[in-house]
């Protein structure tokens, strides 16, 4: 999108939750957003980048209580750590704030009261578990007991970490408050709901505008429209770490109500409370608001959030860009394999710009998952970044320029043709940055680097200088002008490297697209300093080894009723005859989807070839997005007695190792076919 009008753009990335460290999944999104923002600024637009830590909710309260500190102390410390790690990857925020702020409280209350005044808020009673000792309603995670399915003790009130079953807290056996051990009682409580269905027509119109979301996102949203928009519970009972709802006693905003309003609060804080400036973005349709998020929070950002803004008197987002998940070496990030990599661990061993370069080479406009293969990472950085772009600069900026008094000459006519070819790609590169298709930008820059390097190779200034120093000077002048053009194109991706090229050429300020039309001639070149070095495979291996957990934790297929879910469940010895009773077969996942009301479950249609299909409920949602499972061949226990769950009948069990986000499904050899029995 090329326009002479200076655009005004406010950009956000999703708020990291303040209960854990920054890992490569967070870094992917931060880099993708930062590249977009840097491009907009380099293109001359007025652009701001806002983010914050997401700080409210039960997990924060629990984590602070465990450490024996106040929640405010915990979130302040974590926010500093998050900001340190994210900016370590050269992510440049205009403001990185917190949702636990006065600005956020005021805005949340204003929007809520506006929704209530317009009739978009409803109240009704719901039944919840209550602890008489602690005088509090208990979220599912505050309740523990014995799993009603497998008999494992010390399980949470919503799901079993041993067998993966999900259930209602009232079905838990020997249930007790996780805080004091007192058995809970059932008690009714008034809750507050946002009537999302009131905004069906508005949301449908917003989604249909192809500039707001990508086609894949639009299809997913249309599925949700078809299922009907449900009222959204936006209240939680105290004690709760969050904002109290105005006009209510002991009722707090659910974290997902005030979290996205944190985008607004971060901008209001940056604008120093200036509501005119604030409204010029959040109420003025001539400005743009762009959100970058992962596909796991799509529902909140493309349904609840636009409706909340609309009902609260604000404009809806111009763009919600949705990206996929990151895998490492072809698999989900795994602590046992050392590939669940925290940002601070990466930064100890590897160059942040190398990751920016590599990820940008794989990022497109859709929400496909992206794999970080360290073998491919090493090859791409060493060949395309160091061997192509950096080499173009270094090979002519050392001894050759020293012999030429480190002074450029005039551009020869054939060299101007080369530079014109590089400049001819400007429009395409602008368009690809704008559409978040960074992979095409990187491929084009690599091609243009090859063009410039071929010119240098063909003329060989290291030979020219022996017979005609001025011809060599002309060749060097073309090479460094080409490097300057590429530095501008690549600046959003590798800002530090591009700025080093600018400094070498004696140029002031940051690389800008407005500099593309001018030439650099008869100017001094500074002494060469290393721009970046090659990736060392040894550093990668050290990082992976340091990230490995001492032992791999295994999720077992069929734990005994008394096994305790602490690391590896102990099953006891079985005979070879017992083992022979277990039927393991290859199945292909033909359908997979979330289970409403179950945070951990995925419902799978397992194709067993000639044996037909089986319905499976698997507790793997933390590690696998349902859409990514379709077509995957897995190993399953197929003669397991069907288990009746409240969601339906589960007729088999998928085999997996690990737990949580590091869980990995067992997959057969690639030639195995559905229905094949494993021996």
Residue 544 CB contacts under 8 Å (≥ 6 apart), including other chains: 337, 338, 339, 341, 374
Question: Cα separation of 597 and 42, whole Å?
Answer: 46
Say how far residue 552 (Cα) sits from the centre of its chain.
25
The DSSP symbol for 509 reads S
H/E stretch holding 170 reads: none
- Mind spelling out the 3-state secondary structure of 24-93? HHHHHHHHHHHHHHHHHHHCCCEEEEEEEEECCCHHHHHHHHHHCCCHHHHHHHHHHHHHHHHHCCCCCC
Do the Cβ atoms of 654 and 643 come closer than 8 Å? no
CB atoms within 10 A of CB 205: 11
Question: Of 635, 398, 386, nearest to 504 (Cα)?
Answer: 398
Q: Among candidates 641, 634, 648, which has minimal Cα distance to 676?
A: 634
Hunting for tokens 């808020």 — which residue is that?
121
Q: Is 645 helix (H, G, I), strand (E, B) or coil?
A: strand
Q: Which residue has the tokens 């060392």?
A: 536
How far apart (Å, rounded) are the C-alpha atoms in residues 349 and 354?
11
- Report the phi/psi class of residue 457: left, alpha or beta, with left for phi > 0 and alpha for psi in -120 to 50: alpha
47 is in an annotated binding site: no
DSSP per position, 392-436: HHHTTSSHHHHHTTTB--PPPHHHHHHHHHHHTTHHHHHHHHHTT
* Residue 335 annotated as part of some ligand binding site: yes
Give the integer Cα–Cα distance in Å for 130 and 107.
31
Beta bridge partners of 136: 131
Separation between Cα atoms, residue 604 and residue 626, nearest integer Å:
8
548 is in an annotated binding site: no
* R_g over Cα of the chain: 29
66 labeled part of a ligand binding site:
no
Q: Determine the longest span between alpha carbons in the chain, in angstroms.
A: 94
Q: What is the DSSP string of 512-529?
A: -GGGTT----S-B-PPP-
Query: Cβ of 267: how many Cβ atoms within 10 Å?
Result: 23
Q: Does residue 160 have a known ligand-binding role?
A: yes
**Structural tokens at position 162:** 């041993």
Classify 327 as helix, strand or coil. strand
Chain-centre distance for alpha carbon 434: 19
Q: Residue positions in the annotated binding site for Zn(2+)?
A: 147, 150, 160, 163
Known binding-site residue numbers for ATP: 335
Annotated binding site: 147, 150, 160, 163, 335
């Amino acid at each position: 999108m090329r326009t002479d009008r200076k655009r005004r753009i406010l950009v956000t990335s999703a708020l990291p939750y303040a209960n854990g460290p920054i890992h490569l999944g967070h870094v992917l999104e931060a880099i993708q957003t930062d590249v977009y923002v840097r491009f907009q600024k380099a293109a001359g637009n007025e652009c701001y980048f806002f983010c914050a830590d997401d700080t409210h909710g039960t997990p924060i309260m629990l984590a602070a209580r465990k450490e024996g500190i106040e929640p405010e102390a915990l979130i302040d410390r974590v926010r500093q750590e998050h900001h340190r790690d994210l900016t370590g990857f050269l992510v440049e925020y205009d403001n990185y704030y917190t949702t636990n702020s006065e600005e956020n409280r005021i805005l949340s209350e204003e929007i809520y009261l506006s929704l209530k005044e317009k009739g978009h808020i409803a109240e009704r009673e719901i039944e919840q578990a209550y602890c008489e000792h602690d005088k509090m309603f208990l979220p599912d995670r505050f309740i523990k007991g014995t799993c009603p399915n497998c008999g494992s003790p010390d399980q949470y009130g919503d799901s079993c970490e041993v067998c993966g079953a999900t259930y209602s807290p009232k079905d838990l056996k020997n249930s007790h408050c996780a805080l004091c051990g007192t058995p809970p009682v059932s008690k009714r409580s008034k809750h507050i709901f946002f009537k999302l269905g009131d905004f069906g027509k508005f949301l449908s119109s917003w989604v249909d505008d192809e500039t707001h979301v990508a086609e894949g996102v639009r299809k997913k949203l249309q599925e949700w429209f078809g299922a009907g928009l449900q009222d959204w519970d936006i209240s939680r009972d105290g004690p709760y770490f969050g904002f109290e709802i105005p006009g209510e006693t002991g009722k707090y905003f659910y974290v997902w109500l005030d979290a996205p309003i944190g985008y607004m609060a971060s901008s209001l804080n940056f604008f120093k409370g200036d509501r005119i400036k604030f409204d010029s973005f959040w109420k003025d349709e001539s400005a743009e608001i762009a959100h970058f998020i992962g596909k796991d929070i799509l529902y909140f950002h493309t349904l609840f959030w636009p409706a909340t803004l609309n009902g609260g008197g604000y404009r809806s987002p111009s763009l919600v860009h949705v990206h996929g998940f990151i895998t490492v070496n072809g698999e989900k990030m795994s602590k046992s394999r050392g590939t669940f990599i925290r940002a601070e661990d990466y930064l100890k061993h590897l160059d942040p710009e190398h990751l920016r370069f590599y990820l940008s080479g794989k990022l497109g406009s859709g929400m496909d998952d992206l794999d970080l293969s360290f073998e491919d990472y090493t090859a791409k950085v060493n060949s395309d970044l160091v061997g192509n772009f950096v080499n173009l600069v270094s090979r002519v900026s050392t001894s050759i320029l020293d012999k030429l008094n480190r002074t450029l000459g005039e551009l020869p006519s054939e060299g101007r043709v080369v530079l014109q070819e590089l400049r001819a790609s400007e429009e395409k590169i602008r368009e690809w940055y704008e559409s978040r298709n960074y992979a095409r930008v990187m491929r084009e820059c690599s091609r243009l680097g090859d063009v410039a390097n071929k010119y240098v190779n063909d003329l060989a200034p290291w030979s020219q200088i022996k017979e005609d120093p001025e011809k060599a000077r002309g060749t060097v002048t073309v090479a460094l002008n080409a490097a300057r053009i590429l530095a501008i194109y690549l600046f959003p991706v590798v800002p530090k490297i591009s700025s080093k090229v600018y400094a070498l050429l004696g140029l002031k300020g940051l690389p800008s697209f407005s500099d593309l039309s001018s030439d650099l001639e008869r100017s001094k070149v500074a002494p060469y300093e290393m721009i970046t070095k090659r990736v060392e495979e040894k550093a990668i291996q050290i990082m992976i080894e340091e990230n490995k957990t001492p032992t791999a934790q295994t999720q077992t297929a069929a734990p005994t009723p008394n096994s305790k879910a602490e690391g590896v469940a102990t099953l006891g010895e079985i005979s070879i005859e017992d083992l022979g009773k277990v039927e393991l077969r290859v199945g292909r996942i033909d359908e997979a989807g979330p289970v409403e009301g179950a945070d951990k479950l995925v419902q799978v249609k397992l194709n067993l070839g000639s044996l037909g299909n089986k319905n499976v409920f698997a507790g793997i949602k933390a590690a696998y997005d349902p859409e990514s499972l379709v077509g995957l061949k897995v190993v399953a226990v197929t003669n397991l007695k069907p288990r009746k769950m409240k969601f339906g009948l589960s007729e088999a069990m998928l085999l997996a190792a690990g737990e949580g986000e590091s869980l990995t499904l067992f997959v057969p050899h690639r030639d195995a076919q559905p229905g094949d029995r494993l021996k």
